[in-house]
Structure 1
Amino acid sequence: MIALTGILVLVVFAAGLVVVRPGPVAAWLGDDSAARPAPVVDPPDPAPGPVLAALNGTAPMPDEAGLTKALGKLVTDGGIGGRTSLVVRDVASGKVLYANGGGIPTVPASTMKLVTAATVLSTRDPAYRIPTRVVAGPNPGEVILVGGGDPTLGADAKGFYPGAARLDRLATATKKALGATKPTKVYYDSSLFSGPVYEPGWDADIPTGGFGGPSTALMIDGARKTPTESDNHYSERSSKPDLAAAQAFAKALGVGGTPAPAPKGSVPADAATPSPGATAGPADELARVVSPPMVRLVEFMLVDSDNVVAEALARQVALAKGKPASYAGARAGMTEALAELGVPTDGLVLADGSGLSRTDRLTGEAQTELLALAASGKRPELTEMFAGIPVAAWSGTLEDRFGDAATRKSAAGVVRAKTGTLTGNHAMAGTVTTADGRLLAFSVLTDGVTASSDAARDHLDKIAATLATCGCDA
């Protein structure tokens, strides 16, 4: 898995953008000192240096007529079939410079993850860490493993996600808390997430094709059966990730037998993520580990378009807004959070957090408004989205895009975007630096595409590369 090794902050000065070292991020990456008992926390990876050059703060805004001329038939007659919607927005002023079908609600595919990133960062503290707890069971020596919704939890040091919480360390802390009492049985509780584990709008091959997994509050390695598998985008997922996690914990604890679901009403509530119907009793907690901070989880989600992490973060939005941690609760919470950010929600349909659902609908106008807000620096927590948004020819899902030599040369290092692909729907949304040094937000959404996926991706790459080379005088 290709992952950025730290958090960068993007700050807009007038019309320019520079990459600087963390400001509030340093605190967001700090230890959670309020947790009780003291959680086991791995130190964050060191932050890298800047990747994008500073922009020209006095760069002129592209001419609207020039943009229309440059984009021309790329948008209106791209040769891929179906409909192409494109919106280009100036970040500094917020002005829409080009729009073709920008108000048409369209399937966003994985560009939906930009909404998930923004809403979870605006509702959960960016430093928030998701707990995985162990509480006392019904009888001495019996313990309950309680999932808090951390999709990155690992069994040991060989876990899939760098810096993730580990069950072997949780087992060590649990045995210490039990003292002379020998652990005898493991129960598990994943009741924090409710409702169906798969979204009804997902294609039938998603659960079996390795694109995503069940949305449960307890899992290890994003529900992967083989977390070290080289092709992580299509890793086979467990159909019962909560049981798999409990089995790994029991092994680390040295307890035999098959773990069982926790008896109803036996799990004490956690102040941060209370389970529905849970009984009060924080003193019954024996140990806990916590995930990397929210800014890192967002990075994991965006850089490799991780669908399982996306669904887990959507449920964190629901919990933060006091709603059930379900698909329904997540879409209600995310819609509410977008409205609070001032992003238009007309025509918006948020079926899930990953964009796998074909019932999702977004507009290019809403996407670019959200991106411009995030890049403006007015909401520092939203700016952290850019730590995970792939950079052309450098990281994540854009590392191998822009295969044509000309588009690669134009886009490398100046296009930063999230992509999305479903059969018939292809999307790209992000920011781009023009030839004059002006920062633009853009969204390309296609619908009813009849061309091959490779042809559609090349077409979107060409649009982004055209924006990058555009001085776009009339």
Structure 2
Amino acid sequence: MPFSLFSRRLLVAGVVLVFTHLAAAQTPVPTPPAPVNTAWLEKLLRESVVLRQHHVGVCVTDANTGQKVVEWNADKYFTPASVMKMFSLYTGLHLLSDSLPSLRYVVRHDSLIFWGTGDPTLLHGDVPSRRALDFLRTRPEKLFYAEIPSVTPYGPGWTWDDYNYYYQPERGAFPVYGHTVRFYATAGQPRPRVYPRFFRSLTEPVPAGTPNPADDHIRRPELENRFSYFPITQKWVDETPFRTSPTLLLQLLQDTLHRPIGTVPFRLRTQDSVQVLRGLPADSLYRRMLQVSDNFLAEQLLLMCCSRLGNDSLSTIRPIRVMRTLFLADLPDAPRWVDGSGLSRLNLVTPRAMTSLLLKLHQEVPEKRLLGLLATGGGHGTLRRRYRPVVQGRPWLWGKTGTLTNNHNVVGYLRTNSGRLLAFSFLNNNIPGNDAPVRSEMEKILTQVRERL
């Protein structure tokens, strides 16, 4: 795998990971450009009426030379929200191959025993794969599912009462349907269509007169898979997470495969030859995860990385520890990193550490591929309505947004009018009230960076 500047064999949790790298001598060291006066940029940040009421951190660096352009509270820690997905991307690029591991299995006589790797794409609504399904359907052996020890459904520091919303499905070793139910409503129809159909009998209208202050389409009790829909007055599509369990997983798999599946304890034998079924190209997951900020895909990505490190369990702790120790120890400030998605408010990162990660990515991934994975200003993803191209079809900003209540961040790369590519982190925490003015102010400032640098 083309990362870092030397070749080494890495023994982690009993699994040898081989990384092949380019020699440092093959890359000429560019002559750093002359220092640029950025007092005007510091003045903008200091005197902004919009930014002065909350905590702001900025770090801008030349992506090719590493030359610092500006630092503003760059050594202070911030809640990163979904920009933590850049750490998940970096982890996947180092620990996974070019394709996702769909499942693992062993064959014992007339039985095939399989277990999950964390791959989220099986019958997923947006990044769908049927590879595991077709494999299990056509195998001649009897099928047995083994439940591998895995993470808790929710990560540390997640908001418990967001269980009803699409952006917080439960994590797990063997996801199916993205751990969500999709509802398709059409005005004039008495009830929505339900996918997968398994949940149709568990869906009913809310009792008459039920208040709806949150303007929801669907509600689910916290601990049950019962779904209630409000009266349909217009067309809508909604996703609601379902509560996971091994029993429900077997029901869904058997309902889809139309064949029985037994269960066995997860216990490998010395003579077992563990096989891996390969799935979708990894970039298809990275792209969706980053462009629309998909929390579920980010969490499952870390679990797949953990499966690469061993067969005994799935956790987010192990791949985070490996990355911090072996690949990110040289960051200027150690991040506090607890999940893959950034849903947790326990995550903390400094702007200069975030920008250092962006520099690593730019050094190790071909630029065209890297920028193509990110949301594009004025193009697609979470930046499609801002940072529009000056010249039609020629974007100038590619990045990752991160938003929680009272926090809004953007990190990524911008191309200046002079042709420089800058890596930047622009973090805003403790925003009082509406963050729309902050987004507009960020766009105004970064536009001046593009024009003046």
TM-score normalized by structure 1? 0.69
Seen in structure 2, the aligned counterparts of structure 1 residues 168 and 416 have a Cα distance that, compared at 3 Å, is: same
Seen in structure 2, the aligned counterparts of structure 1 residues 444 and 152 have a Cα distance that, compared at 3 Å, is: same
Q: Does 1:148 align with 2:135?
A: no
Q: Give distance in 2, aligned partners of 1:227 and 1:147.
A: 27
Q: 3-state DSSP class of the match of 2:243?
A: coil
Maintained 8 Å contact 2:44/2:445: no
After TM superposition, give the deviation of residue 167 of structure 1 in Å.
4.8
Q: Give distance in 2, aligned partners of 1:382 and 1:244.
A: 43
Maintained 8 Å contact 1:315/1:329: no
CA offsets 1:253-297 (integer angstroms, 9 cap, x no match) = 3236xx66x3324xxxxxxxxxxx533454697xx7532122332
Q: Which runs of 5+ in 1 are unaligned?
A: 1-8, 10-57, 266-276
Give 1:254's aligned residue: 258
After TM superposition, give the deviation of residue 368 of structure 1 in Å.
1.2
Q: 3-state DSSP class of the match of 1:457?
A: helix
Seen in structure 2, the aligned counterparts of structure 1 residues 59 and 329 have a Cα distance that, compared at 3 Å, is: closer
Q: Give distance in 1, aligned partners of 2:419 and 2:446.
A: 15
Maintained 8 Å contact 1:217/1:242: no
2:179 pairs, out of 223, 230, 243, with 223
Q: Give distance in 2, aligned partners of 1:280 and 1:252.
A: 33
The higher-RCO structure (CA 8 Å, 6+ apart) is 1
Q: 3-state DSSP class of the match of 1:314?
A: helix
Give 1:210's aligned residue: 166
Q: Give distance in 2, aligned partners of 1:382 and 1:246.
A: 43
Maintained 8 Å contact 1:219/1:244: no
CA offsets 1:65-105 (integer angstroms, 9 cap, x no match) = 2x330453345535152111000001121011100011112
Give 1:50's aligned residue: none
Within 5 Å, which residues of 2 pair with 1:51-450?
64-65=36-37, 67-70=38-41, 72-74=43-45, 77-80=48-51, 81-125=53-97, 127-133=98-104, 144-154=113-123, 159-162=124-127, 164-174=129-139, 177-178=140-141, 187-191=144-148, 194-226=150-182, 235-240=239-244, 243-255=247-259, 262-265=263-266, 277-280=267-270, 282=272, 289-321=277-309, 325-339=314-328, 342-344=330-332, 346-376=333-363, 379-380=364-365, 384-402=369-387, 409=390, 413-450=395-432
Q: Give distance in 1, aligned partners of 2:137 and 2:335.
A: 47
Q: 3-state DSSP class of the match of 1:79?
A: coil
Maintained 8 Å contact 1:408/1:465: no
Identical pairs, percent: 23
Q: Give distance in 1, aligned partners of 2:93 and 2:274.
A: 31
Paired AA for residue 188 in structure 1: Y
Q: Give distance in 2, aligned partners of 1:227 and 1:95.
A: 50
Maintained 8 Å contact 2:173/2:303: no
Seen in structure 2, the aligned counterparts of structure 1 residues 90 and 254 have a Cα distance that, compared at 3 Å, is: same
Q: Give distance in 2, aligned partners of 1:198 and 1:63.
A: 47
Q: Does 1:467 align with 2:449?
A: yes
Q: Give distance in 1, aligned partners of 2:327 and 2:250.
A: 36
Q: Give distance in 1, aligned partners of 2:132 and 2:304.
A: 21
Seen in structure 2, the aligned counterparts of structure 1 residues 100 and 208 have a Cα distance that, compared at 3 Å, is: same
Q: Give distance in 2, aligned partners of 1:244 and 1:394.
A: 39
Paired AA for residue 254 in structure 1: H
Maintained 8 Å contact 1:130/1:150: yes
TM-score normalized by structure 2? 0.72
Number of aligned residues: 373
Paired AA for residue 173 in structure 2: A
After TM superposition, give the deviation of residue 161 of structure 1 in Å.
3.6
Seen in structure 2, the aligned counterparts of structure 1 residues 324 and 282 have a Cα distance that, compared at 3 Å, is: closer
After TM superposition, give the deviation of residue 436 of structure 1 in Å.
0.9
Q: 3-state DSSP class of the match of 1:205?
A: helix
Maintained 8 Å contact 1:151/1:218: yes
Q: Give distance in 1, aligned partners of 2:105 and 2:378.
A: 43
Seen in structure 2, the aligned counterparts of structure 1 residues 470 and 204 have a Cα distance that, compared at 3 Å, is: farther
After TM superposition, give the deviation of residue 235 of structure 1 in Å.
2.4
Q: 3-state DSSP class of the match of 1:72?
A: helix
CA offsets 1:136-194 (integer angstroms, 9 cap, x no match) = 68x96x7655212111111xxxx5244623454124322xx23xxxx6xx6533415x2
After TM superposition, give the deviation of residue 425 of structure 1 in Å.
1.3
Q: Which runs of 5+ in 2 are unaligned?
A: 3-29, 185-194, 196-234
After TM superposition, give the deviation of residue 134 of structure 1 in Å.
5.7
Q: Give distance in 2, aligned partners of 1:136 and 1:227.
A: 38
Maintained 8 Å contact 2:104/2:277: yes
Seen in structure 2, the aligned counterparts of structure 1 residues 79 and 434 have a Cα distance that, compared at 3 Å, is: same
After TM superposition, give the deviation of residue 223 of structure 1 in Å.
1.4
Maintained 8 Å contact 2:307/2:314: yes
